[in-house]
Amino acid sequence: MGFESPLQVLRISNGVMKLATETIDGILSSIAEIAKTAEDDLRAAESESDLYDRKVKYLGKKGSLKAIMRNVGQLSAEDRPKVGQEANVISRRLEALYQELVDEMKRKVTAASLAHDQADITLPGTGLPNGSAHPLTLITREVEAFFTRLGFDIAIGPEIETDYYNFEALNIPPDHPAREMQDTFYMEDGRVLRTQTSDVQIHYMESHKPPLRIISPGRVYRCDADQTHSPMFHQIEGLLVDKRVTFTDLKGTLAELVKHLFPQAKQTRFRPSFFPFTEPSAEVDMEFETPKGTRWLEIGGCGMVDPAVFEKVGYDPEEWTGWAFGLGVERIAMLKYGITDIRTFYENDVRFLSQFAG
Q: Which residues bind ligand FA5 (CB under 6 A)?
A: 196, 198, 222, 224, 229-230, 233, 235, 237, 275, 278, 281, 298-303, 324-326, 328, 330-331
What is the chain's alpha carbon radius of gyration, rounded to the nearest angstrom? 41
Q: What are phi and psi of 284, to 5 degrees?
A: -100, 120
Shortest CA distance to 144 belongs to which of 261, 252, 269? Answer: 261
Which one, 140 or 198, has the nearer CB to ligand FA5?
198
Residue 22 to residue 8: CA distance in whole angstroms: 6
Minimum distance from residue 327 beta carbon to ligand FA5 (Å): 6
Burial class, 296, CB count within 10 angstroms (exposed 0-12 / middle 13-18 / buried 19+): middle
Q: Are 250 and 302 in contact (CB under 8 A)?
A: yes
Which one, 68 or 299, has the nearer CB to ligand FA5?
299
Shortest CA distance to 335 belongs to which of 291, 283, 299? Answer: 299
Which one, 7 or 214, has the nearer CB to ligand FA5?
214
Minimum distance from residue 329 beta carbon to ligand FA5 (Å): 8
Q: Which residue is nearest to ligand FA5 (CB)?
A: 328
Minimum distance from residue 232 beta carbon to ligand FA5 (Å): 8
Minimum distance from residue 237 beta carbon to ligand FA5 (Å): 6
Which one, 111 or 160, has the nearer CB to ligand FA5?
160
Which one, 98 or 277, has the nearer CB to ligand FA5?
277
| Spatial CB neighbours of 284, under 8 Å, sequence gap ≥ 6 | 254, 258, 268, 269, 270, 271, 298, 299, 300, 301, 302, 325, 327
Minimum distance from residue 349 beta carbon to ligand FA5 (Å): 19
Minimum distance from residue 166 beta carbon to ligand FA5 (Å): 10
Residue 46 to residue 336: CA distance in whole angstroms: 68
Which one, 22 or 330, has the nearer CB to ligand FA5?
330
